[in-house]
Each structure stands twice: as C-alpha cells, then as structure tokens.
Amino acid sequence: MAARKATRKAAKKKASGSARKGAARKASKSPRVAVLMGSKNDWESMRAAVDVLEGMGVGCDVRVISAHRTPDRHHAFVTSAEARGIQAFICGAGFAAHLAGVTAALTPLPVLGVPLDSSALDGMDALLATVQMPGGIPVATFGIGKAGAKNAGLFAAAMIAGSDPKVRKALDAFRKKQTADVPERPF
C-alpha cells in the first residue's frame, strides 16, 4: 500500500514536470485534433497521442479539461471546436471516466476515448466507463494507458489521411519504419 502510494506520488511529480515542459511546447497553428485529458497528471500518457499526430503534421489542440471539475470549460471548448477546424477528439481520463462520453454527447464529431490507469483499479474502471456507452452516443475506445493513447493518435491520423495525402504518406512512412525497426533476433 505504502509502495503503491509512493509510486503514484512519483508519477504525479514526473507528470507535473512534464506538464511544465508541455506548456513550453508551441500550440499548433491550425489544430485538427483536440486532445483532452481530465488532469495534468494524465499528460505523461496522453503525450503519446500528440507526439504521433504532430509527427505526421496533424496539429493538436491539447487541453486539461475535466467533465466534472471544469464542466463550463468543457462545454464551451467542445461546442465551439468544429467551427475552429477540429475534426476529432481524443479524450483521456482515469477513474469513473466520463470525459469521452460527455464530449461525445456534446458534438457529432468522432470521439476517441483512452482509459487511463490512474486509480487503484489500474484503469479497469476507466476502461469500462469509457467503452460501455449506451447505444446512441458512440465513443471509439482504445487500450488502457500510453499504448491506447498512441493508437488513438494513429487512428485519428488514419481518419484524416483519407482526405489528406500528406498525412497518408506520413502514415505509410511510420508503418514502414516500424517494420524496419523490428530486429530479426532478440539478442
């Protein structure tokens, strides 16, 4: 229990350091994907989505927005996003994660949900909360944590690639490099 608390505390410390680093990152000029997270402590996982998208030339609008801690900020941001050129949302949250679901309720744009392992249940709570949307308001749900965030970024890039040949080229190059980087042997 004490060890678990210490690990979480260390992760939070690391995350707040990265959040400061994140603030120094330049905001994308014409963001096409909004990447929302419930807490600045989620950045360490969610940056995987942003790194993938920005690496492919897809600008991101990255925000700490919580459906329960900052409901007004959430509503204002989501309902004005389409007019600002946003084509999709990636939402990462832990615990009883409702960020993706509430975002999807507020916009017809595609919402990609990333459950995060920030609670004592290691993300199982967030996974079920994100994936188990009642019929009518879909959330495309990815794996728990960093790998899920990375795949959400890749999926958003694939959606955009359908109408942007440059992104398609970047996606093809990503796959090619990924394949080339796999060694023949493990030693």
Query: Which residues in this chain contact ligand RP5 in the complex, by CB under 6 A?
Result: 37-39, 41-42, 66, 93-95, 116, 118
Q: Would you list the DSSP string of 13-31? A: HHHHHHHHHHHHSPPPSS-
Cα 134 to Cα 37: distance, rounded to the nearest angstrom: 22
Token pair listed for 117: 């392992």
Token pair listed for 30: 């014409």
Residue of this chain nearest to ligand RP5 (CB atom): 38
Q: Find out whether 28 and 60 touch, Cβ atoms under 8 Å.
A: yes
Q: How far is the CB of 37 from ligand RP5 (least distance, A)?
A: 6
Q: What DSSP designation does 123 have? A: T
Residue number, 65 or 167, with CB nearest to ligand RP5: 65
Residue number, 147 or 158, with CB nearest to ligand RP5: 147
Q: How far is the CB of 122 from ligand RP5 (least distance, A)?
A: 12
Residue number, 81 or 99, with CB nearest to ligand RP5: 99
Distance of CA 164 to the CA centre of its chain: 21
Token pair listed for 93: 């949250």
Q: How far is the CB of 67 from ligand RP5 (least distance, A)?
A: 8
CA atoms lying within 13 Å on the CB side of residue 159 = 20
Residue number, 16 or 151, with CB nearest to ligand RP5: 16
Q: How far is the CB of 95 from ligand RP5 (least distance, A)?
A: 4
Residue number, 140 or 167, with CB nearest to ligand RP5: 140
The torsion angles phi and psi of 37, rounded to 5 degrees, stand at: -140, 145
Q: How far is the CB of 72 from ligand RP5 (least distance, A)?
A: 16
